[in-house]
A and B are shown apart, each in its own frame.
Chain A
Amino acid sequence: QFCTNNNAHVVQPRLRIEEIRAKRLSIFDKELKRQQALIPRLEKIEVAYEGLDNETTTLVMNKGVSTPYNCAQHISEHVVKNSVAAEINGEIWDFHRPIPSDCTLKLLCMKPEDQHQASLVNKTFWRSCSFLLGAVVEGSFQDEISVSLHSFPPANVRSGSFVYDVQLSLDDWVPSQSDLRQISASFQKFVRQNHIFQRLDIDSSVALKMFEDNAFKAEQIPHIATKSSSGHTVTVYRVGDHIDISRGPMIASTSLVGRCLLTAVHKLDSRIYRFQGIALPSEIYINHFALGIIEARARKLNPARIPELKSN
Chain B
Amino acid sequence: MSTIGLLRTIFSHKILTSNVIQTPSLNKSPFIVGFFLNHDQVRTMSRVKRRTTHPPYWHVLKNPQKVDDKISADNLRFVREVIQENYKNKSPLKPSELQIEKSEWDPKTKRSGVIARNIGMQYMWEKDGKKVKCTVLHVLDNHVIRYIPPEEYVKTMIGSKFFKYKKPLGCLVVGAEARNPERFTKQYCNLFASVGLMPKKTLSRFIITPNAALPPCTPITAGHFVVGQAVDISGKTIDYGFQGVVKRWGFKGGPASHGATKFHRRGGTIGTGRDKARVWPGQKMPGHMGSERRFSRGLKIMRINMKYNVIYVKGTVPGATNTIVRIFDTVLPLRKLKEAPPHPTYFPPEDGTQPEEDIWDSSLHVFGSPSISV
Contacts and interface: CB of A to CB of B under 8 A. Distances in A.
Nearest to B199: A289
Contacts of A293: 79, 82
Interface stretch (B23-31, B63-71, B204-212, B315-323): B63-71
B321 to A, nearest CB: 32
B189 interface: yes
Interface string B139-183: 000000000000000000000000000000000000000000110
A289 B79 CA distance: 8
Contact of B71 (A283, A288, A290): A290
A287 interface: yes
B79 A290 contact: yes
Nearest to B83: A289
B82 A286 contact: no
A289 B75 CA distance: 12
A284 B68 CA distance: 8
B198 to A, nearest CB: 11
B82 A287 contact: no
A286 B181 contact: no
B186 interface: yes
Interface string A274-304: 0000000001111111100100000000000
Nearest to B188: A288
B346 to A, nearest CB: 33
A286 B181 CA distance: 13
B164 to A, nearest CB: 39
B237 interface: no
A217 B79 CA distance: 41
Nearest to B185: A288
Interface in A243-296: 283-290, 293
A285 B82 CA distance: 19
Interface in B82-133: 82-83
Contacts of A288: 64, 181-182, 185-186, 189
Contacts of A283: 69
Interface in B28-82: 64, 66-69, 71, 75, 79, 82
Contacts of A285: 66-69
B22 to A, nearest CB: 58
A290 B66 contact: no
A286 B71 contact: yes
Nearest to A287: B182
B195 to A, nearest CB: 17
Nearest to A281: B69
The interface centre, meaning the residue of A285, A287, A293 with most chain B CB atoms within 10 A of its CB, is A287
B66 A289 contact: no
A18 to B, nearest CB: 36
Nearest to A290: B79
A283 B66 CA distance: 12
A289 B69 contact: no
B67 to A, nearest CB: 8
Contacts of B69: 283-286
The interface centre, meaning the residue of B67, B69, B71, B186 with most chain A CB atoms within 10 A of its CB, is B69
B182 A289 contact: yes
Contacts of B68: 285-287
A288 B64 CA distance: 10
A184 to B, nearest CB: 15
A287 B64 contact: yes
A289 B71 contact: no
A293 B182 CA distance: 12
Contacts of A289: 79, 83, 181-182, 189
Nearest to A284: B69
A283 B68 CA distance: 11
Contacts of B189: 288-289
A293 B79 CA distance: 8
Nearest to A292: B186
Nearest to B79: A290
A237 to B, nearest CB: 29
Contacts of B83: 289
Contacts of A286: 68-69, 71
A283 B70 CA distance: 12
A284 B71 CA distance: 10
Contacts of B75: 290
A286 B185 CA distance: 12
A33 B79 CA distance: 51
A-B residue pairs, 10 tightest by C-beta: A288-B186, A287-B182, A289-B181, A289-B182, A285-B66, A284-B69, A285-B69, A290-B79, A287-B68, A293-B82
16 contacts: A283-B69, A284-B69, A285-B68, A286-B68, A286-B69, A286-B71, A287-B64, A288-B64, A288-B181, A288-B186, A288-B189, A289-B79, A289-B181, A289-B189, A290-B75, A290-B182
Interface of A: 283-290, 293
Given A283-B69, A286-B71, 8 more contacts: A285-B68, A287-B64, A287-B182, A288-B182, A289-B79, A290-B79, A293-B79, A293-B82
